[in-house]
Structure 1
Amino acid sequence: MSYCVNCGVELDSSLDHCPLCNTPVINPNELKRIADAVPPFPEQRGEVDTVKRRDFTLLIGIILTATSASCLLLNLLVFTGSLWSLFIIGACLLLFIVLLPAITTLHLPMYLSLALDGAGIAFYLYLISFTTADQHWFFALAVPIVGLCTILCEIFAILMKHFRVSYLTTTLYFFVETALLCMGLELLIEHFFTKPMRLTWSAIVLTVCAVISITLLTILSRQRLREAVRRRLHF
């Protein structure tokens, strides 16, 4: 005769659960057998060795180099209609430059990394210019635009590193640089097409960004208003 270990009710020998509290009925003689049973899956956790950055860099370099070389050979020997391989070669080079801080052990300064990214984009556009009839657009338009974007990114990095950083200040920096970017793009495009250099569509962007920036400056300059906005926006 056996009893439930939870509620104490008398149990029939054929039951595997208590009819009153649904507690499983376990034969004490089977506890050792259950404890000695081999689990169906390993209990020890295995760990995979981390890949060294040097090996990962070598692998990425080989893949990108092989891709560039294969496309160049196909372009020279099979598909000779145009210099389409320059697009692939430039993309591989640009990808390697962008991934360089992440896949190497070199701790490049943020400003140098941004400058290398800008130089990589400019070189990619330079390769593309070989597929066009005239390269004037590269020197007169592409290089100034890439330079403008790189400078704005550098300024944004300086602001984020050396000045006060919060959600409000980051938003302020973003809208100010958006206005500068749109103004610069429009003036550079008009200069390239020898049009009168004046603001048209970028003036709308400038107006919107100016209103938002003035609002953010007002909030940042008044502590009580700043704290109220932070509480309501939960940051």
Structure 2
Amino acid sequence: MPYCPDCGVEIGNAPRCPLCGSPNPKAVPDAQNPCKDADITGKHPAANIIFEGGEGIFSKEEKRTVLWEVLSVAFAIAIVVLGAVNLFESRRLSWSLYPVVSILLLWVEATAFLVLKNMQVLRIVLGAIAPPAFLLALGFVSGSPRWAFGLAIPIAVLVESLTGALVLAIGKSKRKGLNLVAYVLVAVAVLCIGLEMFIDLFARGVVVFDWAPICAIALLPIAGFLLYLHYRVVKATNLRRLFHL
């Protein structure tokens, strides 16, 4: 059995070593070798388009487009199958609407992140609108949109707003360290207060703070201390010298 002259791997009649790519001196002649047109990657030319350096290589944009097209076709097939099964079983669309709405949400998000990469504003707007629209659609599908308008959508908008504020604050920070943890703690405190407000308004019609202020009281002083360490102590001196470590 032939072995690679460079690394000693058993390669049989392969034209090149699959490990190091060295030519096989004992390979079958080109006239009898079905892989005679193999390129330097050791792959058949038909597969060369997926390897860097090949003549037909896909760019990153083309790969994202192909992935989006594959996902779109797969999602379309899934929607058709779900609808057909539901109609065959119940003679009307019922339970299939829930997975269909979920699939549409995934498709919109995939479109925003795969196709609209160079259109940042539209990408952000579409990605932000999709979750509240999904929750609203679920409300109408379930026949009770009240919980979507009164609870789900406000919470989704709050989470997205806090996430956007966190990303903006992190991006604007010249020095990143303990301040990032502080920003997260502040966001969690605001989220807790917002959650209790929306839940109380939906369930009682009036806001009666109970647990959210306790969470905020516990988190905000820690965030303030971390900001103090980051912007005052760490900047002014070395923590190892400060604590004699």
Structure 2 counterparts to residues 156-195 of structure 1, below 5 A: 156-195=166-205
2:216 match:
206
Q: Deviations over 1:127-162 (max 9, x none)?
A: 322343422111111221111111111111211222
Are the equivalent residues in 2 in contact too, given 1:115–1:150 (CA < 8 A)? no
2:126 match:
116
Structure 2 residue 107 is matched with structure 1 residue 96: yes
| Cα distance in structure 1, aligned partners of 2:77 and 2:137 | 18
| Cα distance in structure 2, aligned partners of 1:84 and 1:34 | 60
2:42 match:
46
Q: Runs of at least 4 residues of structure 1 off by over 6 A? A: none
1:75 match:
86
Instruction: Specify whether residues 76 and 35 from structure 1 end up closer, same or farther in structure 2 by C-alpha distance, changes over 3 A only.
Output: closer
2:96 match:
85
| Cα distance in structure 1, aligned partners of 2:145 and 2:154 | 14
Q: How large is the Cα RMSD of the aligned pairs?
A: 3.2
Find 1:197's aligned residue among 207, 211, 220: 207
Which of structures 1 and 2 has the larger relative contact order (alpha carbons within 8 angstroms, sep 6+)? 1
1:13 match:
none
Are the equivalent residues in 1 in contact too, given 2:112–2:126 (CA < 8 A)? no
Structure 2 residue runs of 5 or longer lacking an equivalent are 22-40, 51-57
Radius of gyration: which is bigger?
Answer: 1
Count of residues in Structure 1 that have an aligned counterpart in Structure 2: 198
Structure 2 residue 97 is matched with structure 1 residue 63: no
Instruction: Specify whether residues 70 and 199 from structure 1 end up closer, same or farther in structure 2 by C-alpha distance, changes over 3 A only.
Output: same
Q: Deviations over 1:64-94 (max 9, x none)?
A: 1111121122222324577211221122122
AA of the residue aligned to 1:156 = L
Are the equivalent residues in 1 in contact too, given 2:86–2:96 (CA < 8 A)? yes
Q: TM-score normalised to the size of structure 1? A: 0.71
| Cα distance in structure 2, aligned partners of 1:35 and 1:221 | 61
Q: Percent identity?
A: 21
